[in-house]
Chains A and B, each alone.
Chain A
Amino acid sequence: MLAVQRGDRSAFGQLFEKHVRGVVGFAAQFVGARARAEELAQDVFLQIYRTRARYVPTARFTTWLYRMVTNACLSEVRRADHRSRILPVDHAVERDDADPGSLPEVATRSSEEVVLSQESLNRLRTELEELPPQQRAALLLARVEGLSYEEVAEALSSSVSAVKSLVHRATVRLRDRMQEEHK
């Protein structure tokens, strides 16, 4: 980011390349449609380019980036016309069109082998959408982006203790809902 501040456009390209997929994936959990998530990601990167002079390297770039992304996503969710623009079948269409071989039926990211059936992933998407936006954002930032609670608090302009509560409640709620599914 410091190179971007000095006017190095190729450095900006590298930052974009590195983070765009994560940003689109994150945003899609708030705006529903992939196309809208890509637009939102583009807006965020444009905003980063515009405000590059204001970046102060006191925090990780990822924290700064996700602060902007989270603000954009939460603003989008708050918009009154948000619901009308969501395409509820968007995920299903993407999944149907995708190569089944590329879908993560089994993931072994942790030391434990975790089985992820397509059905449970669909259910998780639905349950995630039902979470309050702040809980959703906190959970995704902590679990997917790997931000510490302190960094999540910075991204959400909140306190660490509030984040602790948000992450805990989101974790318990998702666990309970997913367990209900198997009963």
Chain B
Amino acid sequence: MSGCHDFSEDLTAWIDGQLTERRQNQVRRHLAACNCCSAQVDDLRAAIAWQRSALRAITTADGVDAAASQARLRRAIAAEADEGTLAWSLRDVWASMWGRLALAGAAVSVAVAVLLLAGGPGMVLMPLGLEPPPPAVVQHTELFKDYPMIERLDVLEHFDTVESVPLDDEDAAQRG
């Protein structure tokens, strides 16, 4: 026969009637033969009855003004509906194939316009190979031969600064 330990975790569920029928019967048979677990069940049953009433008492929210809360909720829903009008119309456009093409075209146009405004035509043309690289790259191609991905980017506009970085003590000692 199984020991009390095998049933202790199931006693609350047994009182609540939440075990499977098979397990419910197993626990019932054990309780019929075990005074210790039967006493435990009586104790738990009383505790559960008290807890049920007490928990309901402390979670009662009588002070809630349901009408005022509902009015606030309606305002929130209405505000969201107003904001949502534009979002929904855009969603409808997106749903159609032509709408998707139009939106994708518009997105590309905006991206190109932003690049042109931010860095001039070079920002767009240089990565495409249609703009000459900066003079620093032309004069020191040996420095950039291993970095094909960056040789045409304008990150090299600070090349002079990088070139003239003062050596720290360790580097100077090594070179000296």
Residue contact A143 to B12, C-beta cutoff 8 Å: no
Residue contact A16 to B73, C-beta cutoff 8 Å: yes
Q: What are the residues of chain B within 8 A of A149 when measuring CB–CB?
A: 13, 16, 18
- How many CB-defined contacts (below 8 Å) exist between A and B? 136
A114 and B50 in contact, given A16-B73, A167-B16, A175-B43 (Cβ under 8 angstroms): yes
Would you give the 0/1 interface string for B48-68, flagging 1 where the beta carbon is closer than 8 Å to chain A?
111111111111111110100
Residue contact A16 to B66, C-beta cutoff 8 Å: yes
Residue contact A175 to B70, C-beta cutoff 8 Å: no
Residue contact B54 to A17, C-beta cutoff 8 Å: no
Residue contact A25 to B54, C-beta cutoff 8 Å: no
Of B9, B58, B69, the residue contacting A20 (CB under 8 A) is: B69
Q: How far is the CB of A103 from chain B (nearest CB, A)?
A: 8
- Is A94 positioned at the interface, with any CB of B under 8 Å from its CB? yes
A13 and B44 in contact, given A46-B77, A116-B54, A168-B11 (Cβ under 8 angstroms): no
Q: How far is the CB of B41 from chain A (nearest CB, A)?
A: 12
What are 15 A-to-B residue pairs whose CB atoms are below 8 Å? A17-B66, A21-B62, A29-B58, A38-B64, A38-B69, A46-B76, A49-B77, A98-B63, A107-B56, A140-B55, A140-B59, A143-B48, A143-B55, A167-B12, A168-B11
* Chain B interfacial positions (CB closer than 8 Å to A): 9-13, 16, 18-19, 43-44, 46-64, 66, 69-70, 72-73, 76-77, 80
* Chain A interfacial positions (CB closer than 8 Å to B): 13, 16-17, 20-22, 24-26, 28-29, 34, 37-38, 41-42, 45-46, 49-50, 94, 98, 102-104, 107, 109-110, 112, 114, 116, 120-121, 124-125, 128, 139-140, 142-144, 148-149, 160, 164-165, 167-168, 171-172, 174-175, 178
